[in-house]
Chain A
Amino acid sequence: MKETPLSNCERRFLLRAIEEKKRLDGRQTYDYRNIKISFGTDYGCCIVELGKTRVLGQVSCELVSPKLNRATEGILFFNLELSQMAAPAFEPGRQSDLLVKLNRLLERCLRNSKCIDTESLCVVAGEKVWQIRVDLHLLNHDGNIIDAASIAAIVALCHFRRPDVSVQGDEVTLYTLEERDPVPLSIHHMPICVSFAFFQQGTYLLVDPSEREERVMDGLLVIAMNKHREICTIQSSGGIMLLKDQVLRCSKIAGVKVVEITELIQKALENDQKVRKEGGKFGFAESMANQRITAFKMEKAPIDTSDVEEKAEEIISEAEPPSEVFLNLLSVSKPVLWTPGTAQIGEGIENSWGHLEDSEKEDEDEGGSDEATILDGMKMDTGVEVSNIGSQDAPIVLSDSEEEEMIILEPDKNPKKIRTQTISATQVKAPSKKPVKKRKKKRAAN
């Protein structure tokens, strides 16, 4: 769907409000929206909500051969997808610019900063290493995708547990989740992206822009930092020219924000770990708010299936028994080879088009189909469906038009009967020689 254009008055309104230090949702210039982190039942699954922007993250792992030039390091793979439910404008072919930009930024933030120890992912040097794959799905786009995505990625990586492996000489044993507890990844630090939106050629700045604010902004500055105030990535886009002290100021603000967000992440991870250890209920079902009117839960409900068997017996006994046609179909299901390249399985039904003029005939597909396989193992109450490939029964008359190829075998003398499900037995014809004919007609006048 095409994106709804932003009206001029809306744009003017937003810019005027920003000039007066006001934001649509009432936040201050440096305020972040509410961040909510919830975990799923499997390790490595989390949903991060930054205001209304929602990102789902999932980490998975696999044993693969390492890259040739990095034989002792594991492989990291990041993938951010802008789901079509996030915004009506996100269509498979249309989002490439934004998608590439976000993916590259995420990769630089997480891979180049070496926040994950890839050496610890090595199992057998040169042969087997862990490939960690982080899949992020944007579920709802309300601005500031990169922040939400970076938080989701790092939270999912911290939450993830990989299966335990042990190496004895040449033998590698991979333990399942039941045999040995899974092992967390070794993470050095947690880089978090903080976005700054600039308006009026760098005069005004907002932290954590919402979707409307992103639409009217002039440029975006993204700083990825960890809680030790180390800058992991910095990117300025949109063509705005920033002064040195502006960038320094932004990095100071980012430092403060990152510390707050990291605390929040740690708390969420600890809570989840506590709940899992104590054996309580965890997962998305528990994080759903109970009191909301739009949410509803139903507990386990027993189903009375005691009369199921009687009902089934009734239906089967009332249904018509499979007729002999069915059984005979099974017996004619063997393919019959007429000439090399021409075979027949079963028989088709009578041509219900009536007697056609030859010049109207087009390419026809001959051969019946194997009805028996369709009905394999199942009996339907309704009639046996018969494939409706027509078959020839009329005598062939050469037309005047030039033909490229024509093969005529013996025309069929006996008309075929349509097979239907009837209670009385129908005559079943032995497969007679069916003329197989393919005619390519030169379509001179079309």
Chain B
Amino acid sequence: MQTESKIRADSGTEPGPRVPGCSLRHFACEQNLLSRPDGSASFLQGDTSVLAGVYGPAEVKISKEIFNKATLEVILRPKTGLPGVAEKSRERLIRNTCEAVVLGALHPRTSITVVLQVVSDAGSLCGCVWPCVGQITSQMGEEEHCEPTSQMGDNGGSVAEEARAVLTFALDSVERKLLMSTTKGLYSDTELQQCLAAAQTASTHVFRFYRESLQRRYSKS
């Protein structure tokens, strides 16, 4: 499962060591809300919300077929305007991480398409897409989960634009190892390690959320 946590210092705008007492914003998810896709999930964190739908394993075009595993395709659509380069690069990022996690070898010569729609964006978009993807892949029965957590380096506000650096990590649910990291901005290596350690701490909450939401969903079946 993937989640994003944003560290938000509660006070102060001066640079320096991060103020203890950061918190994860409130999040909510809903699964299986669309009738056409094979799996769907909606994830909300604070004011940011992403809707994801997955189709698969399904027929794949011969040109895109891979003989020993599933072809994973990720499509991310922004809310306004046409999709551009930023969306393409995010799609690539998500696809690479998902390929590592999804057990594609169980479905060779098929295609798995993940479609993400940005419903509202208040800053923590990068991390919001992950829980969606995680939850829908869990609906498809994939075993391993991974989780992205995002850290804000040294910022006083809760808005991503004010931060000096934004670091997003995807962590694996089993051993909290690092699967993916993407960063924007300037930071020192100490800060990187601090952010990573904080992300690992935050990930426990997120995984707990995942586990509880799935337990709730499968409690009646």
Contacts and interface: CB of A to CB of B under 8 A. Distances in A.
B190 A84 contact: no
B119 A40 contact: yes
B134 interface: no
Interface in A292-338: 292-309, 311-313, 315-316
A140 B190 contact: no
A159 B198 CA distance: 40
A145 to B, nearest CB: 12
B35 A296 contact: no
Contact of A139 (B30, B32, B51, B81): B51
A298 B198 contact: no
Q: B-side binding surface: helix, strand, loop or mixed?
A: mixed
Given A58-B79, A88-B36, A288-B44, A300 B24 contact: yes
A107 interface: no
A305 B55 contact: no
B13 interface: no
Q: How large is the interface on B (under 10, 10 to 19, 20 to 34, 35 or more residues)?
A: 35 or more
A81 interface: yes
Contact of B58 (A45, A88, A292, A308): A88
Contacts of A87: 36
A88 B33 CA distance: 16
B63 interface: no
A405 to B, nearest CB: 36
A90 B117 CA distance: 15
Given A140-B35, A303-B7, A305-B198, A293 B217 contact: yes
Given A60-B80, A296-B216, A302-B21, A85 B30 contact: no
A81 B153 CA distance: 37
Given A56-B119, A285-B28, A303-B202, A1 B58 contact: yes
A40 B220 contact: no
A315 B193 contact: yes
B18 interface: yes
A135 B217 contact: no
A308 B28 contact: no
A303 B24 contact: yes
A67 B194 CA distance: 54
A223 interface: no
B59 A294 contact: no
Nearest to B220: A293
A446 to B, nearest CB: 25
Given A88-B55, A285-B44, A303-B205, A293 B28 contact: no
A91 B79 CA distance: 18
Give me the 3 closest cross-chain CB pairs, A-B, nearest first.
A85-B53, A312-B193, A296-B213
12 contacts: A52-B35, A56-B79, A85-B34, A85-B117, A285-B44, A295-B28, A296-B28, A296-B216, A301-B23, A301-B24, A312-B196, A315-B197
Given A40-B49, A295-B29, 19 more contacts: A45-B119, A52-B34, A88-B36, A135-B81, A140-B35, A141-B36, A284-B44, A284-B49, A284-B120, A296-B29, A301-B23, A303-B5, A303-B205, A306-B20, A308-B197, A311-B193, A312-B197, A316-B193, A377-B188
Interface of A: 1-2, 40-42, 45, 47, 52, 54, 56, 58, 60, 81, 83-88, 133, 135, 137, 139-142, 283-285, 288, 292-309, 311-313, 315-316, 377-379
